[in-house]
Amino acid sequence: MMLHRWKHCTLAILLILPLTACQQMLPKAQGLVNSQWTAQQYQRQDLVEVQWKAHSFSFLLYQQQQGQNLDFLALSLTGQQLFKLHFDGKQVTVEQRIEQMKLLPFDFLVRDILFATYPNFIAYPPENVLVNRSKQDHSLNIEDILIHQNKVLTIRHTQDHIELDNVQVPYQMVFSEVPNTLENNE
């Protein structure tokens, strides 16, 4: 009887260890957790255009923060929900995603979006993050984001949009802010 239980325990441990090891092997997005993360009311809507290798696509991105919690909702231009994410200042939780996005590294995506669009995230960067700023003229500001002294992002702020280049992957995103048409205009 004891031998039988021992075999079941050993089998359970052998099944759990590889799953735990796989989860630990997933890369973590350095530069995401920020000790300056604060509770606030925040809302932003963007049309996002993405270019990766020979692929390009667009989606609508809604960001809304209430207190410590920031939610991201991405919709295709036809209204299909692509993903829904939650960030509490420490970790990203995937609430929903379409099957084609199951391997997307959402921690990295959220980090890049925060650096490009979130107020003060770039002003008070996380530990081991350096922001090099340069101003080309009155309508163009460029920020290079270095994590552990390695350049990972270049962000260009213009009057009309924000361009983000991830130099590690590489991919490009262009954020064009959409006015909030859901507000009560009374």
Q: What value does the mean pLDDT take over residues 19-26? A: 42
Least confidently predicted of 30-34, 88-92, 162-166: 30-34
Least confidently predicted of 27-36, 94-103, 127-136: 27-36
Both tokens of residue 71? 């939610």
Residue 178, CA distances (Å) to 87, 102, 117, 161 in order = 22, 27, 13, 10
DSSP string across 90-156: S-EEEEEE-GGGTT--HHHHHHHHHHHHSTTTTTSPPTTEEEEEEEEETTEEEEEEEETTEEEEEEE
12 part of a folded domain:
no
pLDDT at 11 over 50: no
pLDDT at 162 over 60: yes
Are the C-beta atoms of residues 49 and 173 closer than 8 Å to each other?
yes
Cα(110)–Cα(142) distance, rounded to whole angstroms? Answer: 20
55 part of a folded domain:
yes
138 part of a folded domain:
yes
Cis peptide before 170 (omega within 30 of 0): yes
Residue 59: half-sphere exposure toward Cβ, Cα within 13 Å: 19
The torsion region of residue 148 among left (phi > 0), alpha (psi -120 to 50) and beta comes to left
The parent domain of residue 140 ranges over 40-177
What pLDDT, on a 0 to 100 scale, did the predictor assign at position 136? 76
23 part of a folded domain:
no
30 part of a folded domain:
no
Burial class (CB in 10 A: 0-12, 13-18, 19+), 142: middle
The total of structural domains in the chain comes to: 1
163 part of a folded domain:
yes
82 part of a folded domain:
yes
Give the pLDDT confidence of 99-117 residue by residue, as tens digits.
998 888 999 999 999 999 9
Are the C-beta atoms of residues 11 and 89 closer than 8 Å to each other?
no
Residues 6+ apart with CB under 8 A from 111: 29, 31, 32
152 against 138, higher pLDDT? 152
Give the pLDDT confidence of 45-81 residue by residue, as tens digits.
999 999 988 999 999 999 999 999 999 999 999 999 9
Q: What value does the mean pLDDT take over residues 120-125? A: 87
18 part of a folded domain:
no
